[in-house]
Structure 1
Amino acid sequence: MEQEINTGPVVFTREMIIAAMDKWRTKIVNDVPYIVKCFKDKYYFPYTKQVAEGSKYIHMYAGIHNTDIYFFAIPDVFDTVEHRNDFERYTQPCKLMVSGIGGGNEIDRAEAQARMDAWKNNYKTWLPKQSKTTDGIFQLFEVDVIDFDSDETLANMALVAELGNPTGFVADLIITNVEQTHALVFEDFSRPIPPMGPSAVVSNYYLLTL
């Protein structure tokens, strides 16, 4: 069950993860132009499938380290107060990268591409608009584990058009699975938080409380 995953060019300590998330939360309220600049030409991040017994979701928390955006991925079973002192052992830092392709619930290539293009074409105006709404800019994405069919995936920033939404869109994360045949399968069973779902409780997202 307890798969340790925090490896890579930068090994993040507990304090570094908290600082990165805190910087994101501060900037999305007080300095949205900085957030827009950090997103410039960066649309996806690579993610290695995490295996954790009993896990239903992967929580992907946004953060900023130096001037780089990261998503800190942690299985929901470790995103609890019981792991308040060692959650970093089970957290995978995923750095947002330049360019890339995107791809749960399987959706076709055209729909996936449309959502990814919507992000590329609108994030500069969407982020400031979203920052002024009740929910504000997302702090994490919750992704169903069924989205991850292959061990190595890419997660792409996306926007889904929504009628009646004052910003016109809802943030999205599209998971691309690369099959053994090298075919791309696009999955989309993720949701941004906030808003919290009607049955959600903050204790299910411990890192939000830090």
Structure 2
Amino acid sequence: MEQNVGAPVVFTTEMIKDAMNLWRDKIVNDIDYVVGLFENKAAFYYTKQTVADSVEVHMYPGIYDRELYFFVIPDKYDNSAYSADFNRYTQPCKVNLVLGGNEISSLVAMQRMNAWKNNYRTWLPQQSLTTDGVFQVFAVDQIDFAEGSNKVNMALNATLGNTTGFLADLITYDTAQATKVYEDFTKAIPPMPASALITNFYLLTL
């Protein structure tokens, strides 16, 4: 199966830092550019990494060579102890696919994925003006992922009380299953979960 087409063989720590910082700059200063990154593509493949003592993975958006990536790192390695070589534990996933545990129904999954497809052009600019701004990382429970290849889809979850009416979301499913089982344990950051410390998301500080 084709996965992460076009991703360089090796991303250095500096390349990842630059890509994440470019995302953070664009979501504040050039949101139209960010909207354009999602034209006709809102999903990517991620191959699960089984890591002892790792509860979740952190998915950081970044921009490299005018393309959108998610840099996926197990939480075990997302700390200053791995500052020199965190790239060794990071899987670069290029967003280049159309849309396709705590299981959710296919109806709910499709509603959320279609909400992204139908609203991202207006939601991103609106969200960029809010206190929290646009997502800078997603925390996803390891149990969301099957062994092997998983498709990860952008989504929006309709949320009462939120200024823009939606919260950013990711929905995953195992590409090997004949019947898709959709999973949703995702936390978009910001805002930082009350139980989390910024030191648990080291790459946010770079």
TM-score (norm 2): 0.94
Q: Give me the whole-angstrom Cα distance separating, in 1, the residues matched to 2:99 and 2:161.
A: 30
Out of 179, 187, 195, the residue aligned to residue 199 of structure 1 is: 195
Residue deviations 1:38-80, cap 9 Å, x none? 1111110000001111000100001000111100000000001
Q: Is 1:124 equivalent to 2:121 in the alignment?
A: yes
| Matched position secondary structure for 2:10 | coil
Alignment partner of 1:137 out of 123, 134, 139: 134
Gaps of 5+ in 1: 1-6
Q: How far apart are 1:98 and its partner, in Å? A: 3.1
Q: CA deviation at 1:179?
A: 4.4
Query: Residue deviations 1:2-23, cap 9 Å, x none?
Result: xxxxx95442111100000000
Q: Spell out the pairing of 1:33-182 with structure 2 (5 A cutoff).
A: 33-101=32-100, 104-180=101-177, 182=178
2: distance between equivalents of 1:9 and 1:68?
12
Listed one character per residue, the Cα deviations across residues 144-168 of structure 1 (whole Å, up to 9, x for unaligned) are 0010123110000000001111101
2:3 matched residue in structure 1: none
Identity %: 55
SS in 1 for 2:203: helix
Gaps of 5+ in 2: 1-5
In 1: Cα distance, 2:81 partner to 2:196 partner: 18
Deviation at 1:131, TM superposition (A): 0.3
| Corresponding residue SS for 2:39 | coil
| Displacement of 1:37 | 0.6
Deviations 1:156-205 (A, max 9, x none): 0000001111101000000111345x221100001100000112110000
1:137: how far off? Answer: 0.2
Instruction: Classify the secondary structure of the residue corresponding to 2:120.
Output: helix
Alpha-carbon contact 1:179-1:185 (below 8 Å) kept = no
Alignment-mate amino acid for residue 115 of structure 2: A
Q: What is the TM-score of this pair, normalised by structure 1? A: 0.93
